Amino acid sequence: MSERTMFPAKGRAREELWAALETMRDGDADWRHGRVPLYVFGSLPEVEAVGRDAYAAYFTENALGARRAFGSLARMEGEVVAMSLDLFQAPQTATGSMTSGGSESILLAVKACREDARRRRGDAAFRGNLVLAETAHPAFDKAARLMDLPVRRVPAGADYRADARAMAAAIDRDTMMLVGSVPCFPFGVIDPIGELSELASSRDLWLHVDACVGGYLAPFARAAGHPVPPFDFALPGVVSMSADLHKFGFCPKPASVVLFRDQQRADGAGFDLDVWPSGRFRTGTLVGTRPGGAVAGAWAVLNYLGRDGYTMIASRLIAMRQAYVEGIEAIAPLRVFGKPDLTIFAFGAPGLDMAGVAKGMETRGWVPGMISRPPGMHMMASLLHEAARADYLADLSAAVAAAPRIQQDSVSAEY
């Protein structure tokens, strides 16, 4: 067992620490050259610089104090939310907040839905259930566990998209929320939000659209001429949305938004308490102290890129995804699962040991993204992956050639 690190008795010199920070990274995966298929999202070097500089400019300010001390942050947060409401075609009644990420945005939407259901049913202990496709993000279950709510995961269709009919069949009198993803994380396909919106309206249910990963990409892919089905507040059944600025919004972490169709349904997301000696304590979101830098960074990046900048990037991203998909499908017997709508995709092949392929990629210096049902590899491609494509495909081809073939009947029945 290694010795536990002791709390330093004396401070150390900055130069020494800087050198340590630099060398500590030596063993990290080479994300700058596209070797990491998730966690980091790159666009253009100048966008990264704009986000970083804006973050640094508001490094010390605390967004918890936006109302009372930092009018700058209140204004920037308000503008980020307003710009996002505009992007997602929300009515003028709509509102929202910046949060620390998709998980927090989803948690707040689930909480707001629960409070709304409790208010409408006049039952302060009501524990309504959530109906979602098996492809929806685990953040819904995380939120549900925290609030002790039941979750019903329903199999997706053969195209890996949420199956609105199967979801309808899972609804009962205690159902309060339906979820659709834009796109889902495992396969990168956009759920039929139009059908889910109709279902939600006809059953008087709350539809949450989880556009965490695709929210700041899908509208611009559409603007660039690629087919993207309706998915936002233009659909009347959509009550809330989550969209991560720190994914394909290319803003510094931690930054996301949660948006609500109207103030009444947003109310339940907030927190307001007056029991302690310091007086009334109010927060719109879950966390208390929040980095001012994340607010300034998001504000700066959205304004730096604008619709035209994001559309230009989306256009490059979709062309890149297409090239990856074609390159992967040129390697027999690999097949991409479904028809990815944006730049997330997964692939595999029955009879091929995909864990072996992943191992082969790992030994060639790639962090392999994985998917388990069906067994395959996964990638969330940003512009960091553009220049890496030829090397990736060459190594993938070699890894596939070296991977063992396995018995067809030992492959998951999911195929």
Ligand X SMILES: *Cc1c(COP(=O)(O)O)cnc(C)c1O
Note the residues at the interface with ligand X (CB under 6 A).
Answer: 101-103, 106, 137, 139, 181, 185, 210, 212-213, 244, 256
Query: In a 3-state reduction of DSSP, which class is residue 388?
Result: coil
**Rounded least distance, CB 4 to ligand X, Å:** 30
Which residue has the closest beta carbon to ligand X? 102
Tell me whether residue 62 is exposed, middle or buried, using C-beta atoms within 10 angstroms of its C-beta: 0 to 12, 13 to 18, 19 or more.
middle
Nearer to ligand X, 311 or 343 (CB): 343
**Rounded least distance, CB 105 to ligand X, Å:** 7
The amino acid present at 250, given as its one-letter code, is F
Query: What backbone phi and psi angles, to 5 degrees, belong to 280?
Result: -70, 135
**Rounded least distance, CB 210 to ligand X, Å:** 5
Question: How far is Cα 81 from Cα 46, in angstroms, rounded to an integer?
Answer: 23
Pick from 286, 314, 294, 310: which is nearest to 80 by CA?
A: 294
**Rounded least distance, CB 120 to ligand X, Å:** 26
Question: How far is Cα 55 from Cα 163, in angstroms, rounded to an integer?
Answer: 41
Nearer to ligand X, 180 or 374 (CB): 180
**Contacts for 321 with CB less than 8 Å, ≥ 6 apart:** 340, 342, 343, 345, 381
**Rounded least distance, CB 348 to ligand X, Å:** 20
- Strand segments, DSSP code E, in 244-385 are 256-260, 271-276, 279-283, 335-336, 344-348, 369-371, 376-380
Question: How far is Cα 276 from Cα 284, in angstroms, rounded to an integer?
Answer: 18
**Rounded least distance, CB 410 to ligand X, Å:** 31
Nearer to ligand X, 135 or 360 (CB): 135
Question: How far is Cα 385 from Cα 31, in angstroms, rounded to an integer?
Answer: 9
Q: Are 375 and 358 in contact (CB under 8 A)?
A: no
**Rounded least distance, CB 136 to ligand X, Å:** 8
Question: How far is Cα 48 from Cα 56, in angstroms, rounded to an integer?
Answer: 12
Nearer to ligand X, 247 or 261 (CB): 247
**Rounded least distance, CB 339 to ligand X, Å:** 17
Question: How far is Cα 402 from Cα 415, in angstroms, rounded to an integer?
Answer: 22
Nearer to ligand X, 149 or 189 (CB): 189
Nearer to ligand X, 80 or 106 (CB): 106
Nearer to ligand X, 210 or 232 (CB): 210
- Strand segments, DSSP code E, in 55-174 are 95-99, 129-133, 151-154
Query: In a 3-state reduction of DSSP, which class is residue 286?
Result: coil
Nearer to ligand X, 39 or 415 (CB): 39
**Rounded least distance, CB 111 to ligand X, Å:** 15
Nearer to ligand X, 103 or 311 (CB): 103
